Chains A and B, each alone.
Chain A
Amino acid sequence: MPAVEHRLILKHADTPGYTPDLACYQRHGGYDVLKKALALAPKTTPDGKTLSPQEQLRQEVTTSGLRGRGGAGFSCGMKWSLVDRKSGKPIYLVCNADESEPGTFKDRQIIYKDPHQLLEGMIISSFANDVRLAYIYIRGEFVEGAKILNRAIAEARAAGFLGRNILAAGFDLEIHVHRGAGAYICGEETGLIESLEGKRPYPRIKPPYFPAVLGLYQCPTIVNNVETLCHVKHIVAMGGAEYAKLGTPNNTGTRIVCLSGQVQRPGYFEVEVGKATLREIIFDPAFGGGLRDGRKLKTIIPGGVSSKVFKAGEKVKLKGRGPDGKETVNELDVLDLPYDFTSLMAAGSMSGSGAVIVLDDSTDIVAALANISTFFAHESCGQCTPCREGSLWMSKALDRLTHGGGRAQDADYLAKIADNIPGGRTICAFGEACSWPVQSFVGKFKDEFAAKGAADQARRQNNGQAATKT
């Protein structure tokens, strides 16, 4: 069956005439799910335990199988279950709207077109987790987005969906918008928390600083992505079990895939997780529509620039189970990978933030990696030496290589640096993020890197000889 869009989060966003104000949102059923959540009564389970409304909501999210849409794909129900609820300290919810992984532009659609959906998701999530104060950490460049959210918050407060005694249910909540100021590392949750505390966004070491226990102001804190929080609303609306029927096992629900680079129709598409393959996302006329005329696929960055790239024609092995229950190993073309969390990870990369970047055969692969490495060298926070120095060395070497100053050994040199940054040598996953593209580009296109370096070196030697002769 060909893949189709399944719009849950973006159901209304692009409908002509749909506006980001409260009246429009409510005409489309807005805040009905919040009313349902706040009206829940304690429930007694068959084994005689009584579940509070909050516990029931958290149970639904766990049942739904929702995985975080920010990048790591961590179970949302699990994240919530780790929250220290006995500390006596307030619990905070922070919405990560930093959207800074290059290739990603999905949260922008939600914030700019349907901000109340995010607020409703946040209010329900806050109620479910006994949160009284929540923040939206929005990237500084979303200037208009911050204004839209502030207007939405004011409307929601005036309508009694925020503030004291929400819908007369005895629940108080304030949400404030906090603007970042252009630093990628603020997307890392502990860096984000530091930034929200008014400091440099240096990620914290884990353990002990797991946000669920020691987060904002050393209090238990939940950090969830914009899209994840919106899904919570739909999970509560549909019921966790019903939601889990969307998508594929262990990859439930829908997700917004961002497609950019050298395709006919770049854009964002909401699909059931795992129901569309990379081939469909890139080539199907309903999605990317294929490459530009006369071009061939060269490589796919499957989950934002920090994910490991796939080379066109690459074969990957996926483990599965046959009808007899025995383990099977399926070899398939990388394009036939279902675009979900599990398959991409099994294939040695990740779906990350849902950002697919396509490069065709007109691309200079060395220049593409140089572009990515410049980004990481600019964005390393500088706390850990391997990342601070390594990201810069890689960027400098690639810069030389793109400007005619390459050396024959540069491919090996790059690989060696990249291999020595990740793997527990840094406080946060930025170390991995800056190394993975280098490891995979250089690993999979080694001949191109080596040839470029050797050609540069040979040219310099020839020039040198010519210079000596004259």
Chain B
Amino acid sequence: MTFAVPANLEAEIDELVSHYPQKRSASLMVLHALQDHFGYLTPAAMEWTAAKLGLQPINVLELVTFYPMFRQQPVGRFHLKICRTLSCALGGSHELHRQLCAKLGLDAHAHGAQTTKDGRFTVEFVECLASCGTAPVMMVNDDFYEGVTPQKADEIIGKYTS
């Protein structure tokens, strides 16, 4: 199967590339755009990016393997990212992580991101989300939630399961 980027997305990407005197600079922005659209970055997406920016595919792969926000596997439709770092840990992020895993039937002790069997939810610990004064905090896809008490966590999950 060939990798097809819709015309409007390609136009958006071309606009992003025009922001830089050197095309390579647009790498992260292009990868964000592709990941937002396709859900994750396949080898074909990376080759397409390389061709677009006049790079070798390795120049793109080395970014995808370095930057934590890029992924080469699909995640659930709702990607829950819970802040693990100090202020949130003091504010109860581990309890929050356990609560969410229990609620969704996931193993809180397993390493890395966990996805439910139906592919609906992924739960993952991430590093500091820069809102330490309202710990614990989490993101669901691009939406940000702060001061997530156990009750609030239930409400958030409820919102995405309904």
A residues near B (Cβ < 8 Å) are: 99-105, 107-108, 133, 139-144, 174, 176, 178-184, 195-201, 217, 258-262, 266-268, 301, 305, 355, 357, 359, 363, 368, 371-372, 374-375, 378-379, 381
Contact = CB atoms under 8 A, between A and B. Distances in A.
A197 B24 contact: yes
Interface in B103-161: 126-135, 139, 142, 144
B132 A260 contact: yes
B131 to A, nearest CB: 5
Contacts of B89: 368, 371
Given A102-B87, A266-B134, A363-B90, A182 B67 contact: yes
Given A102-B86, A182-B67, A260 B21 contact: no
Contact of B87 (A179, A260, A378): A260
A103 B69 contact: no
A179 B144 contact: no
A197 B87 contact: no
Contact of A99 (B32, B126, B130, B139): B130
A103 B144 contact: no
B22 interface: yes
**CB-based closest 5 A-B pairs:** A181-B67, A198-B27, A260-B132, A182-B68, A198-B24
A107 B67 CA distance: 22
B130 A105 contact: yes
Contacts of A371: 84-86, 89
A104 B22 contact: no
Contacts of A141: 69, 126, 129-130, 139
Nearest to A263: B133
Contacts of B129: 141
A195 B28 contact: yes
Given A102-B128, A184-B127, A217-B22, A178 B142 contact: no
B29 interface: yes
Given A305-B86, A375-B85, A266 B28 contact: no
Given A140-B67, A261-B90, A375-B86, 11 more contacts: A108-B131, A144-B144, A176-B20, A178-B29, A181-B28, A181-B70, A199-B27, A260-B87, A260-B91, A357-B87, A374-B84
Contacts of B31: 181
A180 B28 contact: yes
A94 to B, nearest CB: 12
Nearest to A219: B21
B interface residue count range (under 10 / 10 to 19 / 20 to 34 / 35 or more): 35 or more
Given A102-B85, A262-B90, A375-B127, A182 B25 contact: no
A259 B133 CA distance: 6
A258 B132 contact: yes
B132 A357 contact: yes
Nearest to B27: A198
Given A103-B86, A105-B130, A183-B67, A266 B21 contact: no
Contacts of B90: 260-262, 357, 359, 363, 368
Contacts of A355: 132
B69 A176 contact: no
Given A141-B130, A267-B133, A181 B22 contact: no
B133 A258 contact: yes
Given A181-B32, A183-B67, A357-B86, A139 B133 contact: no
Contacts of A378: 127
A179 B127 contact: no
B28 A105 contact: no
Nearest to A108: B130
B80 interface: no
A183 B68 contact: yes
Given A141-B130, A198-B53, A178 B28 contact: yes
13 contacts: A104-B132, A105-B130, A140-B28, A141-B126, A141-B129, A142-B130, A184-B128, A200-B63, A200-B66, A266-B133, A266-B135, A355-B132, A375-B84
Contacts of A372: 86
B26 interface: yes
B124 to A, nearest CB: 11
Contacts of A259: 133
Contact of A260 (B70, B126, B133): B133
Nearest to B33: A179
Nearest to A147: B142
Contact of A140 (B26, B62, B69, B144): B69
A227 B56 CA distance: 38
A202 to B, nearest CB: 9
